[in-house]
A = this chain, B = another copy of it.
Amino acid sequence: MTTFSGSDHFWKGAQTLKVPMELFKLNRQRLCEALRAHRTLPPDSFVFLQGGTSEMRYCSDHEPLFRQESYFHWAFGVIEPDFYGAINVQNGESILFIPRLPAAYVAWMGKIKEPDEFKKIYHVDHVYYVDELEKIFDELVGKSKLILVLNGLNTDSGKESQAAHFPGIEHFHIDKTTLHSIISECRVFKTDMELDVMRYANKISSEAHKFVMLNIKDGMQEYEIESLFQYYCGRYGAMRHMSYTCICATGDNPAILHYGHAGAPNDRQLTSKDMCLFDMGGEYYCYTSDITCSFPVSGRFTNEQRIVYEAVLDANRQVMKAVRPGVSWVDMHLLAERTQLEHLKAAGLVQGDIEEMMSARLCAVFMPHGLGHFIGIDTHDVGGYPNPQSRSTLVGLKSLRTDRTLEERMCITIEPGIYFNQSLLNNAYEDEKLKKFLNKNEIDKYLHIGGVRIEDDIAITSDGCELLTVVPRTCEEIEEWMSHNSKQADGKLDYE
């Protein structure tokens, strides 16, 4: 098998990225250092994590393709289900616990790997079987040392992570409160090796977006776009998983932020007059990308499409120029709102004083979501609100997935947007605080656009940011790139 053939890296062959297993060793080291710096934690503690489990769909034997749980991936890079892992905080020693597979596995699932093989693949210090967990913990940890397990709130899902467990763990000394915030904080800051994977995931997903632009035709169904994108990511990037369900929105659909879900399954037919909003990203070895491209099916912007597009692009680029360590993400959100409102005012869609609009939270009518979110092993990556109580309650701002001050090595999306959601607009036309700003006659001319979002992934550097996403962004770049769209007959795909 290619994936771990080199024994010191993960690799999917051909032009795909080699990811050194050192990446995970360094992550574990960073975690141990952070834990050792904790004021009250006994230094001889152990971290104990549970990997993702193999699942079957409801009562059937259908097994969805396994994808590793994100904290476990960050610490160990294991691709198989049903593992556990432990780390000695004092000396950094790492242990994996692997499931003991029945002999029949050899015919159905392949060669049964011995503990020593996994030790070499994953560069850990010891490998035991899951059924030895209690015995090994007895020997290594004993009843006196502390076992740190993961338990805490994910502020995007509202769900609590489930503490690792084995029968008998109740006899040990367990700490459920320390690990979650410290390991989440480690995940916020990407190492050089992690940044390489983030760059690769963005590069392939960017190319896949460009591939879609070359092959789009009016008359297509939106789900064909999803297939084109996934095909490129899978074939040329070895991405078996998308970061999230593809959003392939055309016509009015761009106004639906999470369009593409099972109840709105990318099922509209494209017309030559449509604006597209395609929010799609693949992941490589669990590192995600999250990219939105907006462009006209025709390859040529109309006047209205251009006005909205350039408003959003200006917001995106203003933020991109402003970000650097020390800058507040809330301020960036407000900068994007202000920039977009200025454009909407210049075009006559809104009227009045910009500062008054800002106080009235007018921009949330057009952009009900936050400016962007941390990105990493989860698309909406952890650590956005170390203190969940700090979250704003104001419209628009409360949708921000982080309110933090930016620091070097954070990875975050910049994704301003302007949407024409009839329902949100109708509410606003009836709202005493908002209606005076809105020029319904002008706005009506833009309803057919649905919406525009421009989403890039960046890494914060010491003095600004690195742009990871590489797609045509200005109207001119998009029109130039799409002029190579060959409008060939179905079934032929173009890529240069």
Q: Report which A residues bind B (CB closer than 8 A).
A: 1-3, 12-14, 52, 56-67, 69-70, 79-81, 106-111, 154, 156-157, 159-162, 221, 223-224, 226-228, 230-231, 234-235, 238, 240, 244-245, 253, 255-259, 261-265, 267-269, 368-369, 378-380, 419, 421, 423-424, 491-495
Contact = CB atoms under 8 A, between A and B. Distances in A.
A107 B231 contact: no
A224 B228 contact: no
Contact of A223 (B12, B70, B368): B12
6 closest A-B pairs (Cβ-Cβ)? A227-B234, A231-B231, A61-B157, A66-B262, A59-B161, A227-B235
A57 B161 CA distance: 10
Contacts of A419: 107
Contacts of A423: 106-107, 111
Contacts of A65: 245, 261-262
A75 to B, nearest CB: 14
Contacts of A494: 491
Contacts of A257: 107-109
Contacts of A235: 223-224, 227-228, 231
B240 A234 contact: no
Contacts of A230: 227, 230-231, 234
A238 B256 contact: no
A60 B154 contact: yes
B263 A63 contact: no
A107 B422 CA distance: 10
A62 B379 contact: yes
A122 to B, nearest CB: 12
Identify which of A79, A80, A265 gathers the most chain B CB atoms within 10 Å of its CB. Answer: A265
A381 B158 CA distance: 36
Contact of A226 (B59, B63, B234, B259): B234
A61 B380 contact: yes
A240 B223 contact: yes
B60 A70 contact: yes
A226 B227 CA distance: 12
A265 B3 contact: yes
Nearest to A60: B378
Contact of A221 (B67, B238, B369, B491): B238
A59 B161 CA distance: 5
Nearest to A423: B106
Query: How many of these chains are in the complex?
Result: 2
Given A108-B258, A423-B111, A60 B380 contact: yes
11 contacts: A1-B267, A3-B265, A13-B269, A14-B221, A61-B154, A62-B379, A67-B262, A107-B419, A109-B263, A110-B253, A227-B234
Contact of A109 (B12, B58, B256, B380): B256
A63 B238 CA distance: 21
A52 B346 CA distance: 48
Nearest to A226: B234
A421 B108 CA distance: 10
Given A228-B231, A262-B66, A269-B2, A56 B495 contact: no
A265 B240 contact: yes
B63 A261 contact: yes
Contacts of A3: 265, 267
B80 A262 contact: yes
Given A106-B421, A230-B230, A231-B231, 13 more contacts: A2-B269, A57-B69, A59-B157, A61-B380, A64-B64, A65-B262, A66-B261, A106-B423, A107-B368, A108-B258, A110-B253, A231-B235, A238-B267
A70 to B, nearest CB: 6
A450 to B, nearest CB: 12
Given A56-B157, A424-B107, A245 B1 contact: no
A320 to B, nearest CB: 25
A443 to B, nearest CB: 16
A227 B231 contact: yes
A24 to B, nearest CB: 17
A219 B230 CA distance: 21
A143 to B, nearest CB: 29
B157 A12 contact: no
Contacts of A262: 65-67, 79-81
A121 to B, nearest CB: 11
